[in-house]
Amino acid sequence: MQYRNGVFIITEEDHCPLYNVGEELKVSEGVLTLPIAKPTCLTLARELIVVVSEDISFERYRQGETERFKFECGGCTGLVRFEFKKEKDYATLQMKLLVASERKERIKAVAQYAGLLRTIEIFEPLTDDDLLDLATLLTFKDYPWGFPIVQKGDAGVELYIIVSGRVEVIDDEGVTLAEMGRGDVFGEMSLLSGEPVTTTIMASEPTKVAALNHKNFRHILTRFPALQVFFYKLLVSRIIKINLQRAEELSSGMVGQLDDISVVELCQMINANQKTGYLKIEYGMDRALIMFNEGEIVHAEIDELAGQEAFFRILCQSGGRFKFVNGLSAADRNRDVIGGFMAMLMEGMKRLDDSHD
């Protein structure tokens, strides 16, 4: 019964849908307390009940002079490993006072962050208790002037909410495209899509942000419906803005690198905006061509191939340059559609996936 009063800390995590490394699981007189604002995992709870109620042998190892114990839970789609951290029956009054003081400081810090969140518009619908729970899921970070918070090409692993200060959206040439301030959100598109960050975000003055990882983002969407509505509206507005920008680019013709946008995305964009014109692609010495009439594909060619097979081959290419030219000749306008766009796109993406296996 040596674990009946203790704290366990998660040291490893592999696709666990609920918990993160560093979170603590506390046991006091047989009562289990899980991380704040997290739902209960019945599988993990069952594993801990076994740990605290049975006198069995566990795998041990030594780290320095401290003997520690480690356990594992893998009863669902993910896996977590957790270790016995410390007992809660402290031997001296001084130790009890120290732990109580540390706990008080943590609560004070969380309350302070919750107070900061209260001043931000998107959190107005939340109660004080909700804000305290939310603050435990956020990581607060401070950045000096000129520091890149995220850089183009980085993996999109966090969503950021500006608590104080201002940031600039910077393009490849260092030109400021936009500015954001307190209450604004960035990083959500990359976080949800899994795609790399598309622009650099730099602090234009000392800035504090609240960062939220993907797992905790899912938690708050489930826990706080008001935030779910906010982020849904935000994503819709961002998608509409992106589509409008792309439609404007297409209307005047567009040139670019396929390292920045894939052929699949290009074709989807042209189809969604019902554009008519020639998509010309260069892969080194090779050339490819796709003709669109009001968003539908009427011709595709690469090397000696033409039609659907050419389209599938083009989707599997990588790198190179592209140029979209508005308008078709009268003869090309009279061409028949070579196939349903979505059906061809799905087949092409399947072949693309197969080529990567």
Same domain, 122 and 234: yes
pTM above 0.85, yes or no: no
pLDDT digits (tens, 9 = 90+) for 151-170: 988 888 888 989 889 999 98
Same domain, 15 and 128: no
Whether 102 is covered by a domain: the verdict is no
Kindly provide the residue ranges of all beta strands, DSSP E only, lying in 153-285, ordered along the sequence. Answer: 158-164, 167-170, 176-180, 185-186, 200-203, 207-213, 254-257, 277-283
**CA–CA distance, 318 with 311 (Å, rounded to integer):** 14
The structural domain count of the chain equals 3
Q: Which stretches of the chain drop beneath a pLDDT of 50?
A: 1, 55-68, 87-91, 99
Angle of helix 263-272 relative to helix 225-251, nearest 10 degrees, comes to 90
Q: Where does a domain end: 242, 277, 305?
A: 242
**CA–CA distance, 112 with 42 (Å, rounded to integer):** 32
Domain limits for position 301: 253-356
Same domain, 217 and 295: no
Same domain, 172 and 61: no
Same domain, 58 and 122: no
| pLDDT for the residue 263 | 84
Angle 84-86-89 from CA coordinates, rounded to 5° = 130
Report in angstroms the alpha-carbon separations of 83 from 9, 21, 30, 48, 292: 5, 11, 17, 11, 60
DSSP conformational letter for 282: E
pLDDT digits (tens, 9 = 90+) for 283-294: 877 899 999 999
Coil/strand/helix, residue 289: strand
Same domain, 206 and 283: no
| pLDDT for the residue 68 | 45
